[in-house]
Structure 1
Amino acid sequence: MFVPFLIMLREGIEAALIVGIIASYLKQTGRGQWMPAVWIGVFLAAALSLLVGGALELMSAEFPQKQQELFEGIVGLIAVGILSSMVFWMRKVSRSIKDSLHTSLDHALTGSNHQVTALIAMVFFAVAREGLETVFFLLAVFQQSEGPAAPVGALLGLILAICVGFAIYTGSMRLNLGLFFRWTGLFILLVAAGILANSVQALHEAGVWNSLQTVVFDMSTTLPMDGPLGSVLAGMFGYQDAPTVSVLSVYLAYLVVALVLFLRPPVPAKATQ
């Protein structure tokens, strides 16, 4: 439950932050009459995300076992790519996202003969990016979990994100967004490593990847995946009690590279002449 809760909370706050920045700027510049177009863009983005998620879930339910494993592996790989890009993108633009949105908003409202359409499109693409990222991640998590815990966690995360976003917009709550995105980004990279490892295992079960299948160690008697602690570790970080060489290698390689890139100090911008 915690993993989908945290991801939905982070993605929801990102989306709420984007909408909040746009709404505040419109209000400050005396253009509050454009807010209906903003909500139309948000609604269309949410509808697209739900449509894509529902379609992918229905497609996977019709597949035979091996094709389901292949689908799970592919979705997992896509989710890892999206999660990784999301973390590093936010790390890069977190300090300039406000100015960037203001510039895009001014361009949409003054540089087009169809201001309403331009504003709807701008909000739609900004929010849809967050929504589609969330869809692929949650789909990967839901396929690796059973019961209602994961959907309930995602719903609670969304509700809390909406509340936090509204509180930030009204000024009743101050959140250190840099610190929030840094720690949640670190956690997401750990989760992504587990999804990647499970994707490799799914590709093996689908008959696509059959190399390096020697079991490295077996902890099924001391820390089984179906035990209380093992199930928590499996759900959060992709723990496997008998990992193969390919699974463990991919997990460690991704984690080392991702953490080194994420934890290194940001490169200072070059001074312009």
Structure 2
Amino acid sequence: MEQVLFIVWRESVEALLVVGILYAWLKASPAGQPGIKYLWGGVVAGLVLSALLALAILGVSSWLSDDGQEYFQAGMALVAAALVVQMVYWMRKHGRTLKRELEGGLSNAVSRANWWGLTVLVMVAVAREGSETVVFLYGSVAGADAAQWPHLLLAGALGLLAAFFTFWLLQLGGKVLTWRRFFALTEVLLLLLAGALLVSGLEKLVDLGTLPSLLDPVWDSSALLDDSQSIGKVLADFAGYRSHPALMVLLLWLAYWGTTVTLLRRGRG
């Protein structure tokens, strides 16, 4: 539930940022005001594309055998982990120039009265955030039973409401919550979440016999911190903590952090 709330919150804020930048530019420019309806058209189109992706993923999953679904869920968790790292890396490279790049593309569309180009620009931006959300959520909630779905839907709704509230706070430009602090904090949380997705995907592959466990478990710390309840459960959901990890999973989790830290240091440079 916590993963769903965080994913919806973080991705929705980023989508609101993109739409907010474009909307503010169009509204402030007399030449751009006719394009506002095309902006909203692009938002709707981007959401539709994201919904179609969700239906496609669910459709593919429903056609698979039991083992096929396990492999598919493991693959989606690993893809989601890779997408998180790619997204954080992209934001490090382009975060400072995002507003300028968006407004530059918008200015070209307005100067040519290319309103359909504006629609495509917004559609791609929204669909990117939406598709990432779909993949992240599937990687997080795959295998949830019917009893859990009301809680997951509630978490999604709360995440969306929190996103609008966060965006409103960020627009105030206060000293407590700024865009820089928001992205710095959520960057760490996203990387922790990617580690958790990686662990869940790898564990499925170990259970299926595709990956050797090497040694299972390496240790048993459940008496100290159980990963099925309380703080241990939160750490398991958000950081991939396991009280009795398999050696293969542990080694690949450590390799993930080593590779990710190295990659992001280069991205910052």
TM-score range, shorter chain: 0.7 to 0.9
More moved, 27-36 vs 75-84: 27-36
Alpha-carbon distance change, 140 to 165 in structure 1, aligned in 2, over 3 angstroms: same
Q: Could you tell me whether the CA contact under 8 Å between 2:216 and 2:244 is conserved in 1?
A: no
Structure 1 residue 166 displacement after superposition: 5.2
Partner of 1:131: 130
Distance 2:229 2:2 in 1: 17
Give the AA of the match of 2:118. Answer: L
Q: Could you tell me whether the CA contact under 8 Å between 1:10 and 1:181 is conserved in 2?
A: no
Partner of 2:5: 5
Q: Could you tell me whether the CA contact under 8 Å between 1:190 and 1:255 is conserved in 2?
A: no
- Give TM-score, length-normalised by structure 1: 0.86
Distance 1:134 1:127 in 2: 11
Distance 2:51 2:35 in 1: 25
Identify the structure with the greater helix proportion: 2
Distance 2:28 2:90 in 1: 27
1:59-98 → structure 2 map (5 Å cutoff): 59-98=60-99
Identity %: 32
Distance 1:51 1:156 in 2: 23
Distance 2:154 2:109 in 1: 37
Of the three residues 212, 234, 252, the one matched with 1:210 is 212
Distance 1:60 1:144 in 2: 11
Name the count of aligned residue pairs.
Answer: 263
Distance 1:265 1:109 in 2: 32
Is the aligned partner of 1:251 residue 2:227? Answer: no
Partner of 2:105: 104
More moved, 49-58 vs 19-28: 49-58
Distance 2:70 2:242 in 1: 17
Q: Could you tell me whether the CA contact under 8 Å between 1:109 and 1:118 is conserved in 2?
A: no
Q: Which runs of 5+ in 1 are unaligned?
A: 268-273
Q: Which runs of 5+ in 2 are unaligned?
A: none
Aligned CA RMSD, in angstroms, stands at: 2.3
Partner of 1:141: 140
Alpha-carbon distance change, 206 to 108 in structure 1, aligned in 2, over 3 angstroms: farther
Distance 1:207 1:116 in 2: 53
Q: Could you tell me whether the CA contact under 8 Å between 2:93 and 2:267 is conserved in 1?
A: no
1:21-40 → structure 2 map (5 Å cutoff): 21-30=21-30, 31-40=32-41
Distance 1:167 1:220 in 2: 40
Structure 1 residue 82 displacement after superposition: 0.8
Distance 1:245 1:9 in 2: 33
Structure 1 residue 94 displacement after superposition: 1.5
Q: Could you tell me whether the CA contact under 8 Å between 1:189 and 1:259 is conserved in 2?
A: no
Partner of 1:233: 235
Q: Helix, strand or coil for the counterpart of 2:19?
A: helix
